[in-house]
């Protein structure tokens, strides 16, 4: 199974998924002629791979947050981010928790990734809201139960008339926000800011890999490497 992408200047990429082995790989073509492909595994290449995964996570978070924005939650939600239309807001909460979780993943240790973003990665004007988002991610989306992000009070409700022999009832007062609101910076603005900085890192690393690792070895070296058979596992 292959998915084809057309790029500029006659380039085309075929993303291959082998149906039996589930192995994934790409084939590259220039004006319908197959192009040599060489996998790089230097430290700089591992950093570039990690930033690429982070950027993909940020794109997913943006998709979910923009979907929330299109659903216009401000029309029926309070300032605390709790809405009365539960069918509507259960979906919003699901999208928001997904965005929180995957955004936080970019800033926490992740097995299989070469790096994560440091707390000081956002510019200073975004850092306070970033800390709020990470705090909510840790205590609401990931671990739960801290700082009143969610709370349940179990209460006994008595009949107003003390003479009533009717059985009182026990009620659970559940208070859990659907999303975090901000009057200064939106979550979308924050994610776009981080994404822009990650894209700068990707561009700089790509240029550095070419200038420091590819160009010095010359064209003949790389065509020789490309001529060796590829083992796919």
Alpha helices by DSSP H, the chain: 43-70, 86-105, 124-136, 187-209, 218-226
Domain positions in the chain are 1-35, 43-143+178-226
Distance of CA 230 to the CA centre of its chain: 32
Phi and psi for 33 in degrees, rounded to 5?
A: -100, 135
What per-residue confidence (pLDDT) applies to 78?
A: 41
Q: Across the chain, what does the average pLDDT equal?
A: 84
Give, for all 233 residues of the chain, the pLDDT tens digit: 678 989 888 999 999 988 888 888 899 999 999 999 999 999 999 999 999 999 999 999 999 999 988 886 554 444 445 556 667 778 888 898 899 999 999 998 877 778 999 999 999 999 999 998 998 888 765 555 555 556 678 888 888 888 888 888 888 766 666 666 655 688 999 999 999 999 999 999 999 999 999 999 999 999 999 987 766 55
Q: Which of 84, 68, 58 is nearest to 181 (CA)?
A: 68
Instruction: Convert the pLDDT of each residue in 108-119 to its tens digit.
Output: 887 777 899 999
Contact 32, 4 (CB under 8 A): no
What per-residue confidence (pLDDT) applies to 77?
A: 43
């Amino acid at each position: 199974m292959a998915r084809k992408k057309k790029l500029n200047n006659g380039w085309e990429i075929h993303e291959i998924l082998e149906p039996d082995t589930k192995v994934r790989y790409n084939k590259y073509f220039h004006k319908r002629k197959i192009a040599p492909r060489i996998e790089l595994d230097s430290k700089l290449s591992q950093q570039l791979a990690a930033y690429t995964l982070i950027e993909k996570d940020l794109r997913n978070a943006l998709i979910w947050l923009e979907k929330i924005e299109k659903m216009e939650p401000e029309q029926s939600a309070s300032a605390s981010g709790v809405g009365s239309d539960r069918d509507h807001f259960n979906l919003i909460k699901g999208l928001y928790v997904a965005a929180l979780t995957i955004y936080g993943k970019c800033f926490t240790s992740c097995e299989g990734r070469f790096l994560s973003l440091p707390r000081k990665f956002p510019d200073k004007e975004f850092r306070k809201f970033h800390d709020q988002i990470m705090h909510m991610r840790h205590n609401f989306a990931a671990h739960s139960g801290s700082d009143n992000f969610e709370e349940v009070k179990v209460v006994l409700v008595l009949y107003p008339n003390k003479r009533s022999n009717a059985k009182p009832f026990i009620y659970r007062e559940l208070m859990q926000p659907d999303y975090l609101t901000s009057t200064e910076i939106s979550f979308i603005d924050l994610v776009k800011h981080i994404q822009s900085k990650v894209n700068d890192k990707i561009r700089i690393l790509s240029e550095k890999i070419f200038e420091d690792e590819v160009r010095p070895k010359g064209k003949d070296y790389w065509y020789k490497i490309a001529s060796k058979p590829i083992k796919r596992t």
